Amino acid sequence: MATQPAHEPRPGALEDLAQQLGEHASEFTPAKQSAAPSGSGLPGRHPGQSLSEHAKSAGAAASVVIDCGTSRRSGYSHVLWIAPSAPAVLGSDGLERLSDAVARMPGVSACEWEGSDRLHLRAAGSDWDDLLQGARAAVDEILA
């Protein structure tokens, strides 16, 4: 009996594999009952509901205050990431007005700039989303 080189497929190999898998197919077949929750499986959503109903406009505030994260600066708990275009959007004294407004937000005891794109906050126990929303509200007030 002649053997084939390992790099060449053996005739009928696919059929052999399909037959062998067929014998044990139940091990690889998903259960008939889906583990997904009822409905769409998305919290707060219902089948047929449009995403655009819940979309929030980005607006100028979100383009100025981009995100909030954990500060690496000693003594500070959070950092707001400010867009490089913020001075152009807010005006000549806009960054100073922004830091003053953020410093007055509930839970914020101090803030300090690192360059013009990171505003470090001492706001232990404050939620990132609350700080982000508060900073964006401050931008809206500056622009009003």
pLDDT tops 80 at residue 116: yes
Per-residue pLDDT tens for 64-106?
Answer: 999 999 999 999 999 999 999 888 888 888 899 999 999 999 9
Q: What H or E segment, with its residue span, contains residue 118?
A: strand 118-122
Strand 78-82: give its sheet, edge to edge: 65-70, 78-82, 118-122, 110-114
pLDDT digits (tens, 9 = 90+) for 37-48: 554 455 555 555
* Helix intervals (H) in 48-127: 59-64, 86-90, 94-103
Class of the CATH-defined domain 70-143: alpha beta
Q: 112 — phi, psi (to 5°)?
A: -150, 135
Please tell me the number of Cα atoms within 13 Å of 125 on its side-chain side: 4
> What is residue 56's predicted lDDT score, i.e. its pLDDT?
47
Domain chopping of the chain, boundaries? 70-143
Buried b (16+ CB within 10 A) or exposed e, 14-43: eeeeeeeeeeeeeeeeeeeeeeeeeeeeee
Band of residue 57 on the pLDDT scale cut at 50, 70, 90: very low
Q: Which residue has the tokens 């889906």?
A: 34
pTM of the model: 0.59
> Is the C-alpha dihedral spanning 122, 127, 133, 137 positive or negative?
negative
Half-sphere exposure of 84 (CA within 13 A, CB side): 0
